[in-house]
Amino acid sequence: MANHGQKVKMGMVGGGPGAFIGAVHRMAAILDHKIELVCGAFSSDAEKSKQCGSELGLDESRVYESYGQMFEMESKLPAQKRMKFVSIVTPNHLHFPIAKMAMEYGFEVVCDKPLAFNMKEANDLEKISKQTGRSFCVTYNYTGYPMVKQAREMIRIGKIGKIRRVVVEYLQGWLATDLEASGQKQASWRTDPSRAGVAGCIGDIGSHAENIITYITGLEISEICADLTKFVQDRKLDDDGNILLRFQNGAKGVMLASQISVGEENDLVIKVYGEKGSVYWKQTEPNTLIVKWLNDATEIFRTSGNSVLASAAHNTRLPVGHPEGFIEAFANLYRNFASTIHARSQGFEPEPQNLDFPGLADGIRGMAFIEAVIKSSNQNSQWVHLSEKR
Amino acid sequence: MANHGQKVKMGMVGGGPGAFIGAVHRMAAILDHKIELVCGAFSSDAEKSKQCGSELGLDESRVYESYGQMFEMESKLPAQKRMKFVSIVTPNHLHFPIAKMAMEYGFEVVCDKPLAFNMKEANDLEKISKQTGRSFCVTYNYTGYPMVKQAREMIRIGKIGKIRRVVVEYLQGWLATDLEASGQKQASWRTDPSRAGVAGCIGDIGSHAENIITYITGLEISEICADLTKFVQDRKLDDDGNILLRFQNGAKGVMLASQISVGEENDLVIKVYGEKGSVYWKQTEPNTLIVKWLNDATEIFRTSGNSVLASAAHNTRLPVGHPEGFIEAFANLYRNFASTIHARSQGFEPEPQNLDFPGLADGIRGMAFIEAVIKSSNQNSQWVHLSEKR
Amino acid sequence: MANHGQKVKMGMVGGGPGAFIGAVHRMAAILDHKIELVCGAFSSDAEKSKQCGSELGLDESRVYESYGQMFEMESKLPAQKRMKFVSIVTPNHLHFPIAKMAMEYGFEVVCDKPLAFNMKEANDLEKISKQTGRSFCVTYNYTGYPMVKQAREMIRIGKIGKIRRVVVEYLQGWLATDLEASGQKQASWRTDPSRAGVAGCIGDIGSHAENIITYITGLEISEICADLTKFVQDRKLDDDGNILLRFQNGAKGVMLASQISVGEENDLVIKVYGEKGSVYWKQTEPNTLIVKWLNDATEIFRTSGNSVLASAAHNTRLPVGHPEGFIEAFANLYRNFASTIHARSQGFEPEPQNLDFPGLADGIRGMAFIEAVIKSSNQNSQWVHLSEKR
Amino acid sequence: MANHGQKVKMGMVGGGPGAFIGAVHRMAAILDHKIELVCGAFSSDAEKSKQCGSELGLDESRVYESYGQMFEMESKLPAQKRMKFVSIVTPNHLHFPIAKMAMEYGFEVVCDKPLAFNMKEANDLEKISKQTGRSFCVTYNYTGYPMVKQAREMIRIGKIGKIRRVVVEYLQGWLATDLEASGQKQASWRTDPSRAGVAGCIGDIGSHAENIITYITGLEISEICADLTKFVQDRKLDDDGNILLRFQNGAKGVMLASQISVGEENDLVIKVYGEKGSVYWKQTEPNTLIVKWLNDATEIFRTSGNSVLASAAHNTRLPVGHPEGFIEAFANLYRNFASTIHARSQGFEPEPQNLDFPGLADGIRGMAFIEAVIKSSNQNSQWVHLSEKR
């Protein structure tokens, strides 16, 4: 990307004190010198928002009291100065109104996952995006890792043959106790149906698991059979789920998602088995991809290492053996998205490799998945078709 | 065990040329100088049986043409000389008639898993065992590993708290192609309903997975919801299965069993999550047990290493860092069983630590599991109660 | 650090096209929103420098043709606007003149390692720093990892007892062939005595290895016995070295440094053995620290995980299981340094935890180490005292 | 091997109560049904010897009071009945007299390492072997692992190119305290110069390390530069050593051997770097061999897995994923040796693959290595040529 000395300007909604993911978005956004954070409405508490803006070195005049104010004021600024896109890092129930308003004001949108509070909102966002012509990125950030892209590309070009079996685990232990009772900010809203939506664990991390399956395999889930549980007393949403999967091509699979698995950190693992080979990737050691073969020795691919394919290389910053982590993977989404909207705003065709970021289709499919899982679990694990859901 | 210069005498049925598991049983049996292989009917082909006996250094007169002949002839030998117990390592459909006859002739029995061809046979064996007073070992050999025993004991004494979640994977890739078409002996009978029974993969390795769950956790599975698949064309039995589990104490779980997972070897993995900690064990690195804690650093226990409990130590032969493997774990079943029957035959109470081998209750529970899985899968993954099955 | 809306302003010398490490410095510097890159002299080729500045979104007027020009022009800018410190990311032979001039113009300095071209320059820099009162950071970046700090702190408070044995490996394979013949920029200057100095591999990565030993153990190397080799034909500097170490407290050790170890990436590993325990850390999986005990089970500490000490926590940005990598560790040096000079410039005492960055003493000790290693190797591996060298 | 129903008969000297390695030898010997333990002089204490023989199920008449008595009595038995070879598992100082007498009585010999108490004895054993025509196996057991053989064979056929660099670590922690003061049998003799010889750690495990280097690489060490230490107070022999290596082909290397490395178990690791690839093997996970390539993805070879070469396959008993351990590797030496002497005794040429066991040349080279290391360390780490030593 040649941006000729001009960074793409970003605003943020949410991400005030105590909001882990907001800080990640900000670090990810600026990492490559392509994006500049110029404004924000970081908290519903104006004082906290101000403090946050100050710590980030923002111009006071561009730290807003509300997202509504932000969109209005920014839209009045000269094009050279005003924000180009907004990053939405609030709890789920606010994604829709903010994203809607942002697009209506003409801003492009980066929004955390799950896309919306429910299916209807998700579908509406797609309509608004089409009407307004705004670009949209949903931060399914795990697809940003180079070795995830390596896996996807190897599968796409047929290396492991027709896929038969997919296993995804996404295990955490941080909600093994009733952390929400302590007032911890992350736990509070993620276990609260009025802010998180119909699903807890499945919405928070199951949705990532669904997305990485589809991204890597290129397959769509056709049916699911789910058994969700609330292990922690008085919790209002699921904190654990086991889900059988069937795919359109006849493949089978399993998804395990849990936030009460004591000792697990952020253990997202995917294994895909084809007729000729299989791939294994694990987020906590993200720079390694293990590929096993029917008749040959197992191979290990490494970020920036030998035999790495173009899509992985494009999303890598360092030589092999210099670990890239969560922030760098996240930054790949921002860089690809920013490059794309920059090109579009200049009237150029975006480079194909920069179109590689998750969008509204991913977000909508994710919502359909969540709702199907809830339905199946409520029906004592009957199979539910995903296609019926949209 | 003091056996005063006298080894326990063993005969074998099955285990002729090409039979991998027969050779394992024999190595396992003799490893500790407590058991002597004295006779065998190694093959239905008398010539092959003879050759096998010769290679094993057996007295020609004690290599028999059939198991019937073996039981008859051996029973006529003086007590000092005749075999004490028989090891049955044939395909599944022969377990019942051989074990039955052995007990009726007064021999103790070691039998490979699954216990029998169906539930009725399994129940009948229990009756015969009670009537004849014969001891019985079913070789769920994975419970023989020291670190499996460490996990079991840590859970039993409450280290990880009440169990919430159990995940077992047993993945192999050796049946990813139609190996049975090549005439390979292992593949042939394991995919043949007339010799293997109603289940393929689930009977062969799912049954091990069920056993290790129960052994380690002390929990019983109450309900299962299964989705089995035959991926290889023209195969007659399942070669892959995903199963949701519910336990009597409210815990949930998942079992993954597959023989078409390209690149997987003999990858049996168990993870058990309690309210205070979790354990992780994997068969391909069997001397390591990883225990994660709610509030403390993760711990690694090692065979013969620091902080190992008594039941693990009893089943260990070497100092830490000297890897013990599959044969040694298998040998623990033989040694414990032989010590037990030796003590009983001498009129002593067996030492409690030697009673630690899988028996008929395990074998019967395993058959119930297999039949419930088949039923659930045939009913499009409806939940099936295990308790109903017996 | 409260920087009240104002970022610390940084300039850069070096780091133009093809310079891997310059880009790392820039990403590391800005990651935490505490530092702003405001100017640079990125290349001795003015055109390249300009292009680089443009891509970084810099104001054209602050992209300079030379570092001399930069220091002069910046020093004339109002304090609010001018750069506060310079980051020097050139080949080694330029460190001294640039750092010297920077300090003389009143700028603080961040300089890549090794500190200088030779011992004399290193000592001179210390004098200049004292005379000018300028702060100085030498980017031994591997000390920035949270688990390195955890190891250091556990050792400092006596957890593993008196240290007996230290082993450091720093292995790479990228110079296994004569890459410099291809004109590759990194290889060219690092194998060229006129730019790299007296040492190749030992200067480039052995110096990191020396630094991490001292940082983690708190011990100083007293004697070394070295055997260096140039494996690649026509190479002018060592590309491989094995070094025996003796420490002032009686401990022994070994350092292995190699750039011709085919297949190794950037494999820095340190193992420290005390009387009561030992620690193990490896840069390619940097978020894990393994601690083994005389009488207890091995423990695994993880970045942001249970039982992490304060110095590790201070240098961590994400929750456990969200991998932090090379850039984040590097960023810790920048953030701590920037916080320190900001506090000093405001007349405050820096927070103790922000004083945790490598400085001139580290740089000088590193030069002494390099020169002693060369001397020992030239004398067919005679023991050489390090203390004699300063 | 066809041994036509007749096992090769073995006697044992040493290996009484508390002697870990004697029990290993016995399990290893019988594992494959090719060898039968028929007699022994297990202890210098006749009572203990008797008890040991009884526990092993030996005929009382063949449990002897001394090795002298054993050789005399056994030599008078009919050929069909008498022992064919003796296994010597005593402390080092007794290897020579026992092995000498055994050969003079006409018995073949298996002897634990190091071969003898000093170089002279080692050379004498070679002479006696030639004079008597007796076969001799020195149990450098780590060469028995299938993946060690895979590494050796891959190197032999040129896969990794000319070797440049070899690193061997053999680390243990069991002597980190003065265990010998407690009377522990293993520690007592291994730290006692009158029984162990001139070297402690280097004799006990350094000798294994030397052997595995030569076995895998096919290179001979030409010069060594050693720094040995006694860390534990009042210990009489080295318990730790770091050694620089030079090889005849110009390769360089390092050996680390330590018995005071707290937390290490029996951590023998070898890494060999060639011009085109490198191999990595570690004894505690012995069924894995990692091979890294200059330009291709890293490969993992597994015991019994894809792409395994003939010499590895010959020394493997189980399908892939069924871990083979220390005893199985040890058993490969016994099986190959027994097959060889059986063939020779029948007048056949031994099969080439069965000649793959360590012999007197290995034992002698090992003694030369030990003496050179001691000499170098005594001379403050001067380089010492190994060739001068023989």
Calpha distance C171→C242 (Å, rounded):
11
User: Which token pair is C265?
Assistant: 């990436």
What DSSP state is assigned to residue D63? B
Extended strands (E) in chain D:
8-13, 35-41, 85-88, 108-111, 136-138, 163-171, 221-229, 240-247, 252-258, 267-274, 277-282, 288-293, 298-302, 384-385
Size of interface B-C (CB pairs under 8 A): 40
> In the predicted model, is pLDDT for residue B44 greater than 80?
yes
Percent of chain C with pLDDT over 90: 94
Alpha-carbon distances, residue B346 vs B3, B77, B131, B342 (angstroms): 10, 19, 20, 6
Indicate whether A3 belongs to any domain.
no
Calpha distance B78→A305 (Å, rounded):
69
What SS3 class is residue D221? strand
Q: Quick check: A297 and D301 CB within 8 A?
A: yes
pLDDT digits (tens, 9 = 90+) for B170-199: 999 999 999 999 989 889 999 999 999 999
Calpha distance B127→B134 (Å, rounded):
11
Q: Quick check: B321 and D172 CB within 8 A?
A: yes
In one letter, which amino acid is C273? Answer: Y
Contact between A243 and A257 under an 8 Å Cβ cutoff? The reply is yes
Mean pLDDT of B60-82: 96
Alpha-carbon distances, residue B321 vs B304, D24, D187 (angstroms): 8, 14, 17
> In the predicted model, is pLDDT for residue A143 greater than 70?
yes
Least confident of A273-282, A343-352, C10-19: C10-19
Contact between B233 and B178 under an 8 Å Cβ cutoff? The reply is yes
Calpha distance C142→C156 (Å, rounded):
18
Measure CA B278 to chain center.
24
Contact between D227 and C244 under an 8 Å Cβ cutoff? The reply is yes
* Chains interfacing with B (3 or more CB pairs < 8 Å): A, C, D
Calpha distance A91→A22 (Å, rounded):
11
Indicate whether D103 belongs to any domain.
yes
DSSP β-bridge partners for residue D168: D255, D270
Calpha distance B264→B286 (Å, rounded):
16
Chain A residues within an 8 Å CB radius of B273 = 173, 258, 260-263
**Which helix (DSSP H) or strand (DSSP E) does residue C242 occupy?**
strand C240-247
> In the predicted model, is pLDDT for residue A191 greater than 70?
yes
Instruction: Calculate the average pLDDT of chain B.
Output: 95
Write out chain D's pLDDT in tens, 390 residues.
Answer: 344 458 999 999 999 987 789 999 999 999 999 999 999 999 999 999 999 999 998 999 999 999 999 999 999 999 999 999 999 999 999 999 999 999 999 999 999 999 999 999 999 999 999 999 999 999 999 999 999 999 999 999 999 999 999 999 999 999 999 999 998 988 999 999 999 999 999 999 999 999 999 999 999 999 999 999 999 999 999 999 999 999 999 999 999 999 999 999 999 999 999 999 999 999 999 999 999 999 999 999 999 999 999 999 999 999 999 999 999 999 999 999 999 999 999 999 999 999 999 999 999 999 999 999 999 999 999 999 996 444
Calpha distance A384→A226 (Å, rounded):
9
pLDDT recorded at residue C5:
54
D383 touches chain C (CB under 8 A): yes
What SS3 class is residue B300? strand
Instruction: Say which of C26, C33, C328 has its CB closest to residue A57.
Output: C33
Is the peptide bond preceding residue D146 cis, with omega within 30 degrees of 0? no
> In the predicted model, is pLDDT for residue A390 greater than 90?
no
**Within this chain, do residues A80 and A213 fall inside the same structural domain, yes or no?**
no
Q: How confident is the model at residue A5 (pLDDT cuts 50, 70, 90)?
A: low
Q: Between residues C77 and D388, which one has the greater pLDDT?
A: C77
Contact between A175 and A259 under an 8 Å Cβ cutoff? The reply is yes
**Which helix (DSSP H) or strand (DSSP E) does residue A169 occupy?**
strand A163-171
Q: How many residues does chain C have?
A: 390
Phi first, then psi, for residue C2 (nearest 5°) are -105, 110
What SS3 class is residue D274? strand
Indicate whether D3 belongs to any domain.
no
**Within this chain, do residues B369 and B265 fall inside the same structural domain, yes or no?**
yes
**Which helix (DSSP H) or strand (DSSP E) does residue C330 occupy?**
helix C326-345
User: Which token pair is C188?
Assistant: 């060219």
pLDDT recorded at residue B4:
46
Calpha distance D390→D378 (Å, rounded):
19
Contact between D9 and D38 under an 8 Å Cβ cutoff? The reply is yes
Phi first, then psi, for residue C107 (nearest 5°) are -90, 145
pTM for this prediction: 0.97
Calpha distance D289→D291 (Å, rounded):
6
**Within this chain, do residues A71 and A81 fall inside the same structural domain, yes or no?**
yes
C223 touches chain D (CB under 8 A): no
Instruction: Calculate the average pLDDT of chain A.
Output: 95
> In the predicted model, is pLDDT for residue B1 greater than 50?
no
Calpha distance B313→B76 (Å, rounded):
40
Question: Which CATH number goes with the domain that contains D283?
Answer: 3.30.360.10
Handedness of CA B109, B112, B117, B118 (dihedral sign): positive
Taking each helix axis from N to C terminus, what angle separates C146-156 and C207-217, rounded to the nearest 10 degrees? 50
Indicate whether B188 belongs to any domain.
yes
∠ at Cα A169 (A166, A175), nearest 5°?
160
Mean pLDDT of A2-11: 74
**Within this chain, do residues C134 and C223 fall inside the same structural domain, yes or no?**
no
Q: Quick check: A318 and C305 CB within 8 A?
A: no
D69 touches chain C (CB under 8 A): no
> C266 vs chain D: nearest CA distance in angstroms?
14
**Within this chain, do residues C126 and C155 fall inside the same structural domain, yes or no?**
no
Contact between A104 and A128 under an 8 Å Cβ cutoff? The reply is yes
Domain hosting A211: range is 144-320+365-389
If contacts are CB pairs under 8 Å, which of residues 263-322 in chain C contact chain B?
291, 293-302, 305-307
For chain C, the C-alpha Rg in angstroms (whole number) is 21
Mean pLDDT of A349-353: 97
Calpha distance B188→B174 (Å, rounded):
12
Instruction: Say which of A291, A299, A306 has its CB closest to residue D295.
Output: A306
Residue appearing with tokens 């705004």: A134
Chain C residues within an 8 Å CB radius of A2 = 55
Mean pLDDT of B318-334: 98
**Within this chain, do residues A138 and A148 fall inside the same structural domain, yes or no?**
no
Counts of helices then strands in chain A (DSSP H, E): 13, 14
Instruction: Say which of D56, D266, D321 has its CB closest to residue B322.
Output: D266
pLDDT digits (tens, 9 = 90+) for C306-333: 999 999 999 999 999 999 999 999 999 9
Number of domains in chain C: 2
pLDDT recorded at residue B5:
54
Chain C interface mutation, best of B298, B300, B309, B320, highest count of C Cβ atoms under 10 Å: B298
Phi first, then psi, for residue D12 (nearest 5°) are -135, 140
pLDDT recorded at residue D2:
40
pLDDT recorded at residue B2:
40
Instruction: Say which of A291, A293, A306 has its CB closest to residue D306.
Output: A293
For A299-359, where are the alpha helices, taking DSSP H only?
Answer: 310-314, 326-345
Please tell me which residue of chain D has the smallest CA distance to A291: D299
What SS3 class is residue D21? helix
User: Which token pair is D325?
Assistant: 């351990």
pLDDT digits (tens, 9 = 90+) for B263-312: 999 999 999 999 999 999 999 999 999 999 999 999 999 999 999 999 99
Indicate whether D2 belongs to any domain.
no
Instruction: Say which of C297, C300, C302 has its CB closest to residue B307.
Output: C297
**Within this chain, do residues A96 and A174 fall inside the same structural domain, yes or no?**
no
pLDDT recorded at residue D312:
98
**Within this chain, do residues D105 and D236 fall inside the same structural domain, yes or no?**
no
Calpha distance B77→B82 (Å, rounded):
5
**Within this chain, do residues A58 and A69 fall inside the same structural domain, yes or no?**
yes
pLDDT recorded at residue C376:
98
Indicate whether A341 belongs to any domain.
yes
User: Which token pair is C240?
Assistant: 């491989």
In one letter, which amino acid is B221? Answer: I
Size of interface C-D (CB pairs under 8 A): 121
Indicate whether B191 belongs to any domain.
yes
**Within this chain, do residues A275 and A377 fall inside the same structural domain, yes or no?**
yes
Calpha distance D304→D292 (Å, rounded):
20
In one letter, which amino acid is A384? Answer: V
Parallel, antiparallel, or unpaired: how do β-strands C8-13 and B384-385 relate? unpaired
Question: Which CATH number goes with the domain that contains C90?
Answer: 3.40.50.720
**Within this chain, do residues C300 and C377 fall inside the same structural domain, yes or no?**
yes
pLDDT digits (tens, 9 = 90+) for B93-121: 999 999 999 999 999 999 999 999 999 99
> In the predicted model, is pLDDT for residue A305 greater than 80?
yes
Contact between C386 and C221 under an 8 Å Cβ cutoff? The reply is yes
Mean pLDDT of A18-25: 88
**Within this chain, do residues B79 and B197 fall inside the same structural domain, yes or no?**
no
Contact between B134 and B161 under an 8 Å Cβ cutoff? The reply is no
Indicate whether C323 belongs to any domain.
no
pLDDT recorded at residue D5:
54
Chain B residues within an 8 Å CB radius of D285 = 285, 323
Taking each helix axis from N to C terminus, what angle separates B146-156 and B207-217, rounded to the nearest 10 degrees? 50
